Amino acid sequence: MLTSTPAARLTWHPGSILPYASLWHTVLRVTALNGMRSGELPDWPTTLSATGQRPRSLYPLHNARAAVNTDALASALGEAPAMFTGSHFGALAPWLRFAVTPGFRLCVPCLAEGYHSALFSLRLLSVCPIHGTPLLAQCHCGQAFRDRLAPADFARAGSCACYRLALFTRETCRCPTLPASLTRALVPVVDWLGQLSGLIKPAPWRELARRGDSPAWLGLLFECSASLGLAWPACFEKPLQATRLMLTVQASAPRLGAVKRAAAPATPMPARSSYWTDSSATWTYRAMSRHLRRHVVRRQWTQGTRLLGARADPPRLARLLRTDPSAMPALAEMLWALQMEPEAHARRWPYRHPWRPGADPLHGRLAPASMVPGRDALPGAPCPLSAAAWHWIEYHAAAHVMVALWREALARASAMASAGAADWNLVDDQASRCDWSAQVQQGGSLRFWGLSADTVGWTARPSPDKSARRNARHQAQQDRWQRVLAVCSGPCLSWTPCDGWYVAAAAQPAAQAWRRHRLLGVPGERPQFWLFEDGARFTARLCTSPLQAFGATPGRAIDALRKCTAQYLHLYGSSALAYPSGWIEPSDAQPKAACAKVGPDLVANWGQI
């Protein structure tokens, strides 16, 4: 029996390994020529078995943990170690292994010429790139070609268990007859795999691809290739893909140092602020939440309280979403916050700071371990990624996931408004959140891009700089001032504690100084009113009805408006007043004292209109 040391020379014809020949087919040829059995290969693995015994089977498709030492095998055969490049998928990135079939696939014309490649097991290949014939995943007897070499396979090396399919003949076992120039058809496939293996993808990608629809996930590979500028191999099937948006961010090597310095807070945080953990996900979540509250959701505290109050009444909630334009983004922001931070309702409604030192508010939903590198040595990178580079990728990965959750929250809020039913159950579909990739480019620069099927869903700031925002605010104040002047004109139903009810000219603010408030203490309704100074007195005027009251102080004016509104509501049940016809308007010739005192009669006539 031949010795299994690496220095032993085996019966072999040097130069008989064609480019990209599979390790599986080469091992079978070696065992057939040398009459070897299981465990007799050079440097046979001894560390893969949990029991400490020597394993009797091999898995040469992926060659996990370098079970077959290709360098030792090449030395024993007198071949160059580079001849085993592309012979298995061991160097393939973990996130990309879903693109490989569970077992081997064969091309019958290639086998007839003594050649087989592991690249035939790619799902994107349906025909052989060399001969154009369909690839077979099982023998004529119906037995599938597994990715395992059992002891029985070593005993019958060269044929299937049914002995109807020969993997090689006596002649092709010594030296394949396939011209080496024909293997150039596999060069685009090898280059494509090498480029994609250098990408950094999220860890759930592989699991989701295994559970999901393979054609849909294979379509994402086409989009990644287009994003990288890689040519799609002509021998591949072109999967179905949708028109998607791509957001690309790049960072040069000198810029990464600044990102690392910006990771820590500029000033030490107070002791009670340890509710937030110091991580990339936490800082990104707080920044996006602050942006939503300031620029997307207006009056978030009021809207959140209203939405939580209507949570138990789905028709009321749907009606609120349809009638109030600001309620839709408020609900979306609430759903987004609950998806990211499960205890957000305890911290924000009511607004308080739960004290739980050492806790993670995000519950590890965006942990730094949510990414997997492609390979230790990426193309164009002199060394593995540094801590600053990983930190930069973590920031952008967290932002991409949060934007995807925001799109889902908007879609759910819109569905709740149209369906009239509230579905507050949180979803955990991570398919749309895994469409991001990172790549190390030449010179150590990084590139990050994310794919999405829709836009972000929030409006940009209408004014780009501070002066434009100041001018826009001044113009908005002027517009509101003109609207107030337009409403505070003409006759108005007035009331004072001394004079009671009467009709007088509507009071106007003496200057551009007025405030809008809610009228409290009124049964059933909380109408809005303006409070301003009219000469030497203060006026409280309803915003939607021609009803005003006067007082020497703001408190007295508000109290007078509350009393007269309560009287009117007691008589007519609503504060929606209408202008009566035929009343006497005060003028210089007819001062207010000369106008008819109206009291309940005019109020009654007013309410009938």
At 528 the three-state DSSP class reads strand
Q: Look at residue 301 in the predicted model and tell me its pLDDT.
A: 66
Q: What is the mean pLDDT of residues 279-290?
A: 86
Position 383 confidence tier, pLDDT thresholds 50, 70, 90: very low
C-beta atoms surrounding 452 within 10 Å: 18
Residue 518's alpha-carbon distances to 235, 522, 527, 552, in angstroms, are 71, 10, 6, 20
Position 601 confidence tier, pLDDT thresholds 50, 70, 90: very low
Average pLDDT of every residue of the chain:
75
pLDDT exceeds 90 at position 107: yes
Strand order in the sheet with 500-505: 500-505, 491-496, 547-551, 537-542, 528-534, 514-518
pLDDT exceeds 50 at position 589: no
Q: Look at residue 420 in the predicted model and tell me its pLDDT.
A: 66
Residue with tokens 């079939």: 101
Q: Determine what percent of the chain is predicted with pLDDT higher than 90.
A: 14
Position 34 confidence tier, pLDDT thresholds 50, 70, 90: confident
Position 592 confidence tier, pLDDT thresholds 50, 70, 90: very low
Q: Look at residue 170 in the predicted model and tell me its pLDDT.
A: 86
Residue 479's alpha-carbon distances to 295, 485, 506, in angstroms, are 21, 10, 19
pLDDT exceeds 90 at position 464: no
d(CA 9, CA 26) in angstroms, rounded, equals: 16
What's the 3-state SS for 164-207?
Answer: CCECCCHHHHHCCCCCHHHHHHHHHHHHHHHHHHCCEEECHHHH
Closest CA to 259 of 367, 400, 388: 388
Q: Select, from the ranges 59-63, 131-135, 300-304, the one with the highest average predicted confidence (pLDDT).
A: 131-135
pLDDT exceeds 70 at position 263: no
Q: Look at residue 566 in the predicted model and tell me its pLDDT.
A: 86
d(CA 191, CA 208) in angstroms, rounded, equals: 26
Q: Determine what percent of the chain is predicted with pLDDT higher than 70.
A: 70
Position 596 confidence tier, pLDDT thresholds 50, 70, 90: very low
pLDDT exceeds 60 at position 375: no
Residue 6's Cβ-count burial label (10 Å; 0-12, 13-18, 19+) is: middle
pLDDT exceeds 90 at position 164: no
Asked if 397 contacts 199 with a C-beta cutoff of 8 angstroms, the reply is no
Residue 214's alpha-carbon distances to 199, 209, 230, 429, 451, in angstroms, are 20, 7, 21, 17, 18
Q: What is the mean pLDDT of residues 199-225?
A: 69
d(CA 93, CA 202) in angstroms, rounded, equals: 12
Read off φ and ψ for residue 398, nearest 5 degrees: -65, -40
- More confident call, 212 vs 551: 551
Quick: pLDDT tens for 501-530: 888 888 888 777 788 888 888 877 678 898
- More confident call, 199 vs 18: 18
- More confident call, 179 vs 94: 179
Q: Nearest 10 degrees: CA dihedral of 92, 95, 99, 101?
A: 80
Least-confidence region, from 254-263, 415-424, 511-520: 254-263
Closest CA to 401 of 353, 359, 452: 452
Q: H helices of 372-428, where? A: 387-419
Q: Look at residue 332 in the predicted model and tell me its pLDDT.
A: 85
Position 136 confidence tier, pLDDT thresholds 50, 70, 90: very high
Please give the DSSP secondary-structure letter assigned to residue 83.
G
Strand order in the sheet with 436-440: 245-251, 446-452, 436-440
Q: H helices of 8-87, where? A: 23-34, 70-77
Q: Look at residue 568 in the predicted model and tell me its pLDDT.
A: 78
Beta 491-496 vs 547-551: how paired, if at all? parallel
d(CA 556, CA 550) in angstroms, rounded, equals: 8
d(CA 495, CA 313) in angstroms, rounded, equals: 39
Closest CA to 538 of 513, 519, 563: 513
Beta 446-452 vs 500-505: how paired, if at all? unpaired
Position 25 confidence tier, pLDDT thresholds 50, 70, 90: very high
Least-confidence region, from 42-46, 104-108, 407-411, 490-494: 42-46
Asked if 229 contacts 210 with a C-beta cutoff of 8 angstroms, the reply is no
The pTM of this model reads: 0.64
Quick: pLDDT tens for 572-583: 666 555 444 333
Quick: pLDDT tens for 465-490: 678 878 888 888 888 888 888 888 88
Query: What are the tokens at 415?
Result: 């569905």
pLDDT exceeds 80 at position 12: yes
Q: Look at residue 165 in the predicted model and tell me its pLDDT.
A: 87
Q: If residue 152 lies in a helix (H) or strand (E), which one and from where to where?
A: helix 151-155
Asked if 575 contacts 569 with a C-beta cutoff of 8 angstroms, the reply is yes
Closest CA to 236 of 176, 196, 178: 196
Q: Look at residue 385 in the predicted model and tell me its pLDDT.
A: 72
Q: Look at residue 560 in the predicted model and tell me its pLDDT.
A: 92
pLDDT exceeds 70 at position 494: yes
Q: If residue 226 lies in a helix (H) or strand (E), which one and from where to where?
A: helix 214-228
Residue with tokens 């200057």: 511
Q: What is the mean pLDDT of residues 139-147?
A: 88
Asked if 73 contacts 36 with a C-beta cutoff of 8 angstroms, the reply is no
N-to-C CA span, the chain = 114
Position 213 confidence tier, pLDDT thresholds 50, 70, 90: low
Position 242 confidence tier, pLDDT thresholds 50, 70, 90: low
Q: Look at residue 410 in the predicted model and tell me its pLDDT.
A: 85
How many alpha carbons lie under 13 Å from residue 53 in its C-beta half-sphere? 4
